[in-house]
Amino acid sequence: MNTTLDTVVIGGGAMGSAAAWALARRGRPVTLLEQFGPGHLIGASHGATRNLSLAYSEPDYVAMLAETLRLWRELEDESGEQLLARTGVVNHGPDPQLGAMHAALNRAGLRAEFLPTAEAGERWRGIRFDQQVLYMPDGGQLNPELALPALQRLAVRHGAEVRHHVKVVDLQVLDDGVRVTVDDGGAAEVLTARQAVVTAGGWTSKLLGDMAGTPRLTVTQEQPAHFGIADPGAAWPGFNHFPGTGDDYAGWYSPVYGMHTPGEGIKAGWHGVGPVVDPDHRSFQPEPMQRAALQRYARHWLPGVDADSMTDISCTYTTAPDHNFVLDRLGPVVIGAGFAGHGFKFTPVVGRMLADLATGEGRAPAIFSAARPGIR
């Protein structure tokens, strides 16, 4: 069977769902294809919590923060769902970039203030704070388990078609669009479309192959964990702990992020340091040394948790060499990739940017170009 479409979005995770919502809101015909079922645990958009952290100083990201706060409110209003728990986010540690973050956020009219470590410790006694504390009250925790179905439901309400369990096995660029071959439950189908929006996460490079202009992306398996709560009276913001140098930080793999996941415990993890994997052949098992180091971290820096009560989590990061997103158009193919553990907070903004690229109504900032130096 051969079907002709206007825009096909390949990948129904956070960014693909947001792109479908943004396009459908504009009255554009759009079909969203997702190879797995709703709520699957195989990619990067599952789970009940992601931090909406404002820990940026780069101007393009800071501008996106202001827009994403507005768009999450719009999505909550349109869906009737509470998607953001406004607990605030605290960054702490000796890293000097905290001063640049504070200055950039305040210049943009986003709330950020330094707190004395003793005051922070009294307010959030489950965390041992390190040298300096930057508090961002507009942050909190987003809920992917509610956000993704809300985006897809609203996209359908605006006229989009959403198809699960449809695997794209081939993507070919034509003179006047794209040809997409799919496996729909064992039945082959060929779709032709004016354009494709590729938001396939860890499968992006597999799908695009050697298509001219595509970026280099690395897929890693990340292994955060939920720790049991030892202090039920403690309040928990989202948090990021930026290390310094010296013996106090020996054995660290990266900064540590964390948050409270209701009903599951306190989530904590290293950022972007897991083993490189093929997304179709993952172990889902933690790297033992990193797991042990994370448990030592929790025992020392998170007095409000039971470090011996540890439930492993598995997800993927897809990362460009400079750790910035890839948001660009290459002929009839729009690419959204490289969100690498810090993209979820920007989901509705990325959806808007991908829709702009698909409709010709705008371009993404140059730092997200697929042609920027060093990413091919």
Q: What is the pLDDT of residues 251-309, one digit of tens each?
A: 999 999 999 999 999 999 999 999 999 999 999 999 999 999 999 999 999 999 999 99
Give the pLDDT confidence score for residue 4 in this predicted structure. 82
Q: Please give the DSSP secondary-structure letter assigned to residue 281.
A: B
- Euclidean distance between CA atoms 240 and 258, whole angstroms: 6
Question: Which domains are delineated in the chain?
Answer: 2-46+146-216+321-368 (3.50.50.60), 88-142+219-319 (3.30.9.10)
Give the pLDDT confidence score for residue 95 in this predicted structure. 86
- Euclidean distance between CA atoms 174 and 193, whole angstroms: 10
- In what helix (H) or strand (E) does residue 237 lie, and over which residues does it extend? none
Give the pLDDT confidence score for residue 306 in this predicted structure. 98
Query: Please, what is the average pLDDT of the chain?
Result: 96
Give the pLDDT confidence score for residue 3 in this predicted structure. 73
Give the pLDDT confidence score for residue 166 in this predicted structure. 97
- Euclidean distance between CA atoms 195 and 28, whole angstroms: 12
- Euclidean distance between CA atoms 295 and 222, whole angstroms: 15
Q: Is the pTM of this model over 0.95?
A: yes
3-state class (DSSP) for residue 77 = helix
Q: What angle do CA 249, 254, 257 make, to 5 degrees?
A: 105
Give the pLDDT confidence score for residue 248 in this predicted structure. 86
Low-confidence ranges of the chain (pLDDT < 70): 1-2
Give the pLDDT confidence score for residue 250 in this predicted structure. 92
Q: Please give the DSSP secondary-structure letter assigned to residue 214.
A: P
3-state class (DSSP) for residue 93 = coil
